[in-house]
Structure 1
Amino acid sequence: MNGEAGYLTTLARVLWPGGGVVGRGRGESGGARLPGPDGREVREYLPVPSARRPRVILPVANRYAAARGVAAFAQRHSFRQRLRATLLTTAFASGAAPLLLRDRLRVAAGPAIEYALAAALDREVVIAIHLGPPRANRKPVLLLLTPGGRTIGFAKVGVNELTSRLVAAETAALRRLADARLRDITVPRLVYAGEWNGRPLLVQEALPVGHQTDRPTRRQLLRCVTQIAALEPIRENRLSTSRYLDELRRRVAALAGRPEAPPLRAVLDELPDLLLPFGAWHGDLTRWNVASTPRRAFVWDWERLAFDVPVGMDALHYELTECVRTGVQAGVHRWLDSGSRLLRDPLLHAAGLRPDSVSTVMALYLVDLATRYLQDRQAEAGGRLAAVGEWALPALAGLRERAAHEARHAT
């Protein structure tokens, strides 16, 4: 059994405490329940594209829900991935998918998260599950559907210490955002918060994201960034006396024993002591967590929401994740220029970000992100940007020099 198949059986024990087994099948059951080896009934799910590389898990017994699950989880993907999703959707809608996809996740009858969700929402629930690629913060995102395939909402459940902490954090963030006045941003409403199998569980409404929305333009992105920053009044403060720097130093110090910790600490020690605007940030603003119409942004996945952070870091995070999609080293090199241009935009200048502090904020962002990845042990999970020593430290060396130059030549 490879690591991914092992992950599926671990996940099955969380979502279906009776457990599950990964196996092969040709769909002879037609989606009906099959007798288990001990006489109990089992339900079948399809790991797609395979048990060795599961990205979504779809119910065999409900082709309408399976087809909707494929379409919903492909919204923010590339054209090639969306084309593949269209073919899969057609295969599920026609009933052919179980004949074409051989791998199965067979789940024993008994306590099931579907029953807990149905009780919490007072309606019958069918689920499709998005997993995404392996990473430390990988957790199941459950698309909640009616038996006819209509979307009810999304649920998240923690599967380990890190993901449980993130689900709890997002629950708290959604409660806080419920009373926020974001002029051009819609945030999902928290529908239910509780526990399942001893782990935090949240349910949130589905946002109207689909063919009528798209990735934000530069102006839409920056408008979104500045409105999130202003969730609480933006305050100016010297970097040296900011709570943000104290907390970032504490996090870097907690990396004691890691070879990356001393150079990260050295960067913080040598950055110029500038006056910076501090506000809120989403913390993971990427193309997978935001969609826009010409007048409105829809933003989800608020598990990293934080306050008293240098304004502009959300823009840098979005830009970095875009730049590295085709390669890390070349992407980071492009980001050093494109990120600087973003921070010099008039919208961020109006929020208090001065040209002489651009490279300082970029350096702080990279230290913050590198520290997060090291704390979460992303390298062990194989994330794209996990090897921070190979890309973040060289970039920080250049940014440190740029920050000193900008501070000396400030007018």
Structure 2
Amino acid sequence: MSDETAYLTDLAEVLWPCGGLLGRRNRPLRSASKASGTPLGPIREYLPIPSAYNPRVILPATDRYAAVRGIAAFTQRHSFGERLRAALLSTAFASGMAPLLLRDRLRVGSGHTIEHALSEALGRELVIAIHVGPPRANRKPVLLLLTPEGRTAGYAKVGVNALTSRLVAAETDALRLLSGTPLRDVTVPRLLHAGEWNSRPLLVQEALPIGSRTDRPTRRQLLRCVVQVAGLEPITRRPLAASPYLRALAGRVAALGDRPEAGALGAALRRLPDVRMPFGAWHGDLTRWNVASTARRAFLWDWERLAFGVPVGFDALHYELNESVQAGVRQGVRRWLDSGSALLADPVLAATGLRRSAAATVMALYLVDLATRYLHDRQAEAGGRLAAVDDWLLPALADLEERAIREAASN
């Protein structure tokens, strides 16, 4: 059994503890759940796409409309090639050909399932389509909730291990906090339900109006969003050495123990100049997959990494890094060393008190923070794209250390 098939069987056990079976069209099935020794009763069938060996989405086999809506919802922020493949897949489902073309099946029984729990929580009958995404430590199912008439009722997340359970719980807390702290030009999804499913945290939030009328943010829209999120707490300017943030980050690095990267990260923190910079809140994972904009408004979701008291500009750097590496990590990081610096020098961020002489220091702090997150989450072991921090991040950090010292000296 491949790692991905094992992940799918574990996921089936979380979502459908009544019993699930993996198999192929017209072939015997094998267990996908510890409970599958019991009779399944009336069977519902799902299709892992593109296969059980590489599951990215799981779609209902007998509900064409829900499947098509699921494909559209889960590919809106993706590349042109991915959207083209999604269009072909949508056509196959709409025509009824998909179940004939796709071999792998996930069949679940009629006991109490995640669909029942969600229907009870929202007080209406629901159909689900599931996004699981590529391998990474924080991979968890995101469920698109649809009414039988095809209306989107919201999105749900379920923790599947210790890390993802912690993140689902953190996002629940973040949405509760944000409900009482409205942002002027940023819309945040409302929390519809918080509870447990199969002894794991369950979160349901509203679906934001993302579609043909929204697009990726422009540079100005992005920075306006960054500043408003930073302002979730009063923005304060202080020397780096006097900041609670530096002490907290040093503690997180020390908690890595004897990992070989920890020494380089700790040494980098000690060498950074003690420059003044603004501190505020950050979303923590602001990427093209978590934000969409109109001319006047941004829609921002996936708040599981919300944190306070961090250097202003981290969200802009995170967005820019993820954009830069789309065509390749090493080449993209080299571009980011310049484009990130230019973003931090923009007047929108300068208005928060961020000076050019602090830009390289902020960028270096962001890399140390990101590396520490990846190492604690064990992203490299899970196959995360940017997780090999010794391959690209530590060399970039060394470059930024030298630049930070020069900038501080020239001020």
* TM > 0.5 fold call: yes
Contact map agreement 1:116 1:196 (CA 8 A) in 2:
yes
Matched, 1:6 2:6: yes
Change in 2 beyond 3 A, CA 1:26/1:96: farther
User: Which range moved further: 257-266 or 97-106?
Assistant: 97-106
- Counterpart residue number, 1:68: 69
Shift in CA distance, 164/332, structure 1 to aligned 2, threshold 3 Å: same
Aligned residue for 1:32?
none
1:306 correspondence with 2:299: no
Moved segments of 4+, more than 3 Å: 35-39
Contact 1:153/1:204 (<8 A) preserved: yes
Rounded to whole Å, the distance in 2 between the matches of 1:288 and 1:168 is 21
Which one-letter code corresponds to 2:142 in the other structure? V
Distance 2:208 2:76 in 1: 12
CA RMSD for the aligned pairs?
1.4
Aligned residue runs from structure 1 range 225-236, under 5 A: 225-236=226-237
2: distance between equivalents of 1:149 and 1:98? 20
Q: Which residue does 1:30 correspond to in 2?
A: none
User: Counterpart amino acid of 1:122?
Assistant: G
Give, in whole Å, the separation in 2 of the partners of 1:273 and 1:36: 63
Q: Which AA in structure 2 matches 1:14? A: V
C-alpha contact (below 8 Å) 2:40/2:109 kept by paired residues? no
Q: Is the 8 A contact 1:42 1:109 kept in 2?
A: yes
Partner of 2:23 in structure 1?
23
- 1:85-142 CA deviation, whole Å, 9 max, x = no partner? 1111121112111111111112233120000000010100100000110000000000
Instruction: Give the aligned partner of residue 108 of structure 1.
Output: 109
Whether the 8 Å contact between 1:5 and 1:22 is mirrored in structure 2 is no
SS of 1:41's partner is: coil
SS at match of 1:366: helix
Matching residue of 2:33 = none
Q: Which residue of 2 aligns with 1:296?
A: 297
Measured after TM superposition, the shift of residue 24 of structure 1 is: 0.3
Show the counterpart of 1:121.
122
Distance 1:106 1:381 in 2: 27
How far 1:37 moved relative to its partner? Answer: 8.7
- Give the aligned partner of residue 152 of structure 1: 153
Quote the residue 2:212 is aligned against: 211
Q: Structure 1 CA distance, aligned partners of 2:381 and 2:112?
A: 32
**Aligned equivalents of 2:82 and 2:299: distance in 1?**
22
Say if 1:26 and 1:98, in contact at 8 Å, map to a contact too. Answer: no
8 Å contact kept, 2:40–2:110? no
Q: What corresponds to 2:357 in structure 1?
A: 356
1:126-171 residue CA offsets vs partner (Å, 9 max, x unmatched): 0000011000000000000011221110000100000000000000
The farther-off stretch of 121-130 and 76-85 is 76-85
Task: Please tell me the residue identity of whatever aligns with 1:264.
Answer: L
Separation in structure 1 between the aligned mates of residue 126 and residue 41 of structure 2, nearest angstrom:
22
Cross-structure match for 1:85: 86
Map 1:182-221 onto structure 2 (within 5 A): 182-221=183-222
Measured in 1, the distance between the counterparts of 2:8 and 2:385 equals 21
Partner residue in 2 for 1:366:
367
> For residues 253-332 of structure 1, what are the structure 2 equivalents within 5 Å?
253-332=254-333
Equivalent residue, structure 1, for 2:169: 168
Contact in 2 for aligned 1:18/1:107 (Cα 8 Å): yes
Amino acid of the structure 2 residue aligned with 1:159: V
CA distance in 1, matches of 2:22, 2:206: 31
Asked if structure 2 preserves the Cα contact closer than 8 Å seen for 1:9 and 1:19, the reply is no
Q: Which residue of 2 aligns with 1:387?
A: 388
Please say if residues 19 and 40 of structure 2, whose CA atoms lie closer than 8 Å, have aligned partners that are also in contact: no
Evaluate the alpha carbon distance shift between residue 39 and residue 341 of structure 1 in structure 2; reply closer, same or farther with a 3 A threshold: closer
Cα distance in 2 between the residues matched to 1:153 and 1:359: 40
* Equivalent residues in 2 for 1:372-411, closer than 5 Å: 372-410=373-411
> C-alpha displacement at 1:38, in angstroms?
4.1
| TM-score of the superposed pair, with normalisation by structure 2 | 0.96
Residues 26 and 100, structure 1, Cα contact 8 Å, conserved in 2: no
Paired residues in the alignment total 403
Match of 1:178 in 2: 179
> 2:137 is matched with which residue?
136
Conserved in 1, the CA contact under 8 Å of 2:40 and 2:108?
no
The residue aligned with 1:347 is 348
What's the CA shift for 1:368?
A: 0.2
**1:17 is aligned with what amino acid?**
P
Which residue does the alignment assign to 1:31? Answer: none
> Structure 1 length normalisation: TM-score?
0.96
How far 1:257 moved relative to its partner? 1.2
Distance 2:42 2:333 in 1: 51
Deviation at 1:40, TM superposition (A): 2.7
For residues 226 and 26 of structure 1, do their structure 2 counterparts lie closer, same or farther at Cα, with a shift above 3 Å needed?
farther
- 1:26 to partner: Cα distance: 5.8
Q: 1:213 to 1:14 in 2, by over 3 A?
A: same
Gap runs ≥5 in structure 1: 28-34
* 8 Å Cα contact 2:19/2:37 also seen in 1: no
Deviation at 1:42, TM superposition (A): 2.4
What letter matches 1:181 in structure 2?
A: P
Give unpaired runs (5+ residues) of structure 2.
Answer: 28-35
The amino acid that maps onto 2:13 is R
Aligned mates of 2:196, 2:378 — CA distance in 1 = 25
Once residues 343 and 12 of structure 2 are traced to their aligned partners in structure 1, the CA distance between those partners, rounded to angstroms, is 43
Which 10-residue stretch deviates more, 37-46 or 145-154? 37-46
